Structure 1
């Protein structure tokens, strides 16, 4: 038996030892065109065909690559251009790059979908121009493919992993070939000891690190910090870690560790005045302009805390002075936790908020490309920049609200120009602000109304205004045709999406109560379409969706075969019926409101909805369900933010179901 096990291990090692053979065999699938072995310092051109993979049918696909260079992992963007049914890709492999793993991805209704060659990987191990190995080839090949080492790579592999023996072979081979580089991957070596010798790794790890420090005594501060952290957090050897910290502080008196120590000492001050003075002293002594990348988190936290202190003390001039030194991430967080919060809660004067908001917005519009959201391997540079742009769009929403509240109408119009291309005219609420601003300035609104319609992002008030202007223009076509032509692209896409999500499964019984507590059993006559909107009085998105629901209700009000019901469920208040009735009355909605049955075991009114939640594997609301002839035909969760889009979505469902009767 021992011989069989030993033979199996040897075979596994042999299968994983030739990375040149491994990458040749695995990559010939949807990714084509990269010569094996790849060469560092060259540009590779390839094609990617999603057909037959998890991304087949996705209209937009992007590519990233995990690369290993100079013993550091990075996540980089890869250029892709669509060519009919396939994509052309191009990537410049850096000099001395020792490993590349491509990942193709897109976003579906359930989130991120990625293609890593059905868990085989799109992996290349570049050699140098002389076809010799690059430093790091062995190490990356032996760790990226082992699940115990590759937890930072965004779930690149779902199940695949090589044996620990194989990883040990490649890590030791790296040390054998490049012993001088061991300080750059000492953590990996200690992790190997932890994996291979779990019962003895504490004394073994201490011994290995002690020997390492004797052999390598000219480390950088970052390398000393890494060893110190290994002693402290991995090996629980605080005395040695403390002594190493003393060494670091002596060797690097103004370095990373010194700043961390001084920053933590700021917490000892109890009064705002003392904290402000100590923080200002810290910034004078350790300015944030010396390029120490590892101190980014210190300054992010310091500026956020100092901003909050200045804000509470109304020292707005001091805030203005530090904003240019802050990165996008920090300014955005400070805006969210101070300006935005104060505006919502009305805890500060709008004039002060306006002045501060202008300073901050003017600064962050310059910085969405500063990559301040890059953290480890979570995002590629393009992904981090897209996140920053999305954050900027969100802050512009509130900046415009503040400007509008202060009647700074011309500045409102200027602020609308700052939105990203994707965000322009996409938010119905902000589109209404745009329209109202133009009206306040006695300027034409038709362009904004039509562009908002093209994005299917109209509020009921905007639709009313558009209708008024349509009548004044004496069009030959009907308003319905005019509106349909404006948003035909969006509606066509929406109709296709709705069609692809139609279902035909048995629906749970529809048993509810009216406001008097009388049971209501909704059965529905033949071919009747029943739309149920599950909502709750505590649910903000549910209420925000009501204007769109009202548009849909009004459209089908005269249709006897279409009936809407608004079912309150999962309520938390004892007086939820009174609260629901009062809210509907206050808003003037002509809705048929019912109430879910109370579940004694759960303590809320969800007796019917919980059967739907089981079907959807989600209890989230708002939840729309469409039922015909006892079958659940369509459902959606959440709210997109556009009343007109919601109304068109439900209208598309209705028309598709009606067409079945013809």
Structure 2
């Protein structure tokens, strides 16, 4: 006869009572006592939950295996009013947890949660079931962050109960409970050298067969919680002796490789490292050392080849070994930066970008990332790393691969939601090129509502307006009517609050032809200064919006715009600027920063202002009123030409109204 634990008997009894008392529950597990290796059915009635109005519901099932969570997508099928899914319980699964969601709304069962323990064929709970049950819902030891709703959390005294229950139910539980107990006790009485912790470390050290991860937890307790140097040294020595090619030994080699200064010799050492510590063996290992330093080793080796020899072969050579978190960085430095700065042509970098992007989008989840189901992981890529997707679409579009570029843009459309002018501008151009002209104007209108449009998009909207009206005299009013009045008022209030009034020295600078322009002699005129450089991508990205502002006030003699080129190092920087302005069809008055007599760098005016008004970095914009006071100072660029032009215009009009 099969043995059922006390908890299992109580659950069966409770299930029987509940079914008799209440026919409908939002969540059911059939059978109520799930057995590892066998199928279970989950049923979910969303009409009884916060997802009641949703027509399509998705689900994730989390299984606690080997002291970590593994997430899978539930294949839910609608059966009348109930969603159903069948799932096979993994052999080492001690606890099962379900989540149901639709869009950004989720349901995890409120106070009780949708969680259930599993049993083996003898009716016994699997090791770590009780501690997992408590850790799911305790903030001190929370194992699945973001799962529980607030009312589901248990306090530390209840967590202590579950830790003790685990020790009572499983005689061998001490070897994995000790670590969580130590963290728990350290939270209650931080810094105390608990004898129980020291005893647990000795217990682990004396186990006949102990895995390295358990020893590493003992090392963490000795080093960071008990802070016993001698004890930590002993644990470390045992780990390195028992596991000479294990996790700790690997971490020590990573630290040595990271500090290696000989970049030419570093590659050979990295190759030897990968032979000794193959990536496949450590795929699920994540330590502080790997997180902080491992990816940077690949970065230095691969970039060294590119910088010194224009050799990109290291990309393909190491790509399968590079940590996932470093892949977007690789794409940024190898593709996006060279294209943004004009240092490389798209034909040169895109082939390598395609290889990186393929690895980035198809690599399976490693280690702690398995807490995301495949569907959740795919969504996370397109939201958290949308910049990489957009960068790849930009590169594809530049190479004439419009169909593929549009396909990628559709994937990340929801992540931007018309709030990025860069995204919107490219999306409109790709719609045109791929034959979806009917979607162009609606897209531009949606972008205007978010105040995230480029000058080209506004020109396209103006043409459409002209075809429907006799002239464009009412166009500006039409555009303003599309914008959210509430957002506009909020922006204006914020800009008013940002106004300052500080005395500022004005300097004489040269224009591109060497002619002196003395700003101090422009009293009575509102002066807009924009510090920028040809090597600065954000600076150049902000210029379309500044050109819109320049166009608005080009016939106003009381407003002057000056774009101060600063920190330029090339001897022919003037010619580079001329070529850039011609290429972009900009009509901007560019002045050249003066030479700093102390440093001999061309940043004298920028340096004086940055020290006086406590800012750093470019682009930086300053607006000075007709009385010679600095009234507005703004650093950086936030991505929308139309919003920037509107900000500049609002400040100018506010200053005009003061006269």
Query: TM-score by structure 1 length?
Result: 0.60
Relative to 1, partners in 2 of residues 1:95 and 1:564: Cα closer, same or farther, differing over 3 Å?
closer
Confirm whether residue 316 of structure 1 aligns to residue 311 of structure 2.
Answer: yes
Helix, strand or coil at the partner of 1:33: strand
Identify the match of residue 386 of structure 1 among 379, 393, 403: 379
CA distance in 2, matches of 1:22, 1:148: 29
Q: CA deviation at 1:292?
A: 4.6
Counterpart of 2:354 in structure 1 is: 361
1:119-268 equivalence runs, <5 A:
119-150=111-142, 152-154=144-146, 156-162=148-154, 166-180=158-172, 182-191=174-183, 194=186, 202-214=194-206, 216-268=207-259
- Taking a change above 3 Å as real, the CA distance of residues 105 and 400 of structure 1, as seen in their structure-2 partners, is closer
Calculate the aligned-residue CA RMSD, in Å.
5.2
Alignment partners' CA distance in 1, 2:73 and 2:487: 50
In structure 2, relative to structure 1, the CA distance for the partners of 1:263 and 1:364 (3 Å cut) is: same
Shift of 1:265: 1.3
- The superposition leaves residues 341-395 of structure 1 with CA deviations (integer Å, 9 ceiling, x where unpaired) of 3443x2x6222x6523321323422552423476367634422222224467533
Q: Distance in 1 between matches of 2:12 and 2:353?
A: 52
Mapped to 1, the partners of 2:343 and 2:443 lie a distance apart of 35
Q: Are 1:588 and 2:585 matched, yes or no?
A: no
- Select the residue among 435, 442, 445 that pairs with 1:447: 435
Task: Give the Å deviation of 1:184.
Answer: 4.0
Which secondary structure does the structure 2 equivalent of 1:253 belong to? coil
Structure 1 counterpart SS, 2:221: helix
Q: Does 1:554 align with 2:545?
A: no
1:331 aligns with 2:327: yes
Counterpart selection for 2:60 from 64, 81, 95: 64
Residue deviations 1:233-284, cap 9 Å, x none?
A: 1211222222222222222222221111011112443454455554455345
Q: Report if the CA contact (8 A) 1:339-1:357 is conserved.
A: yes
Aligned length: 499
Query: What are the ranges of 5 or more consecutive residues in structure 2 without an aligned counterpart?
Result: 1-5, 448-452, 505-524, 531-545, 555-613, 615-633, 644-659
2: CA distance, partners of 1:78 / 1:199 = 44
Number of the residue aligned with 2:40: 43
Rate the CA distance shift 1:45–1:151 in 2: closer, same or farther, 3 A.
closer
Q: Which residue of 1 aligns with 2:364?
A: 371
CA shift, 1:436, in A, is 5.5
For residue 297 of structure 2, what is the aligned residue in structure 1? 302
* 2:343 counterpart (333, 336, 349): 349
Per the alignment, do residues 469 and 148 of structure 1 end up closer, same or farther by CA in structure 2, a change over 3 Å counting? Answer: closer
Q: Return the alpha-carbon distance in structure 2 between the equivalents of residues 211 and 432 of structure 1.
A: 64
Distance 1:134 1:284, change over 3 A: closer
Mapped to 1, the partners of 2:45 and 2:475 lie a distance apart of 44
State the SS of the aligned residue for 1:245.
Answer: helix
- 2-structure distance, mates of 1:135, 1:446: 57
Say if 1:434 and 1:38 are closer, same or farther in 2 by CA, change over 3 A.
closer
TM-score, normalised on structure 2?
Answer: 0.61
CA contact (8 A) 1:38 1:126 kept: yes
2:390 paired residue among 387, 391, 397? 397
SS at match of 2:127: coil
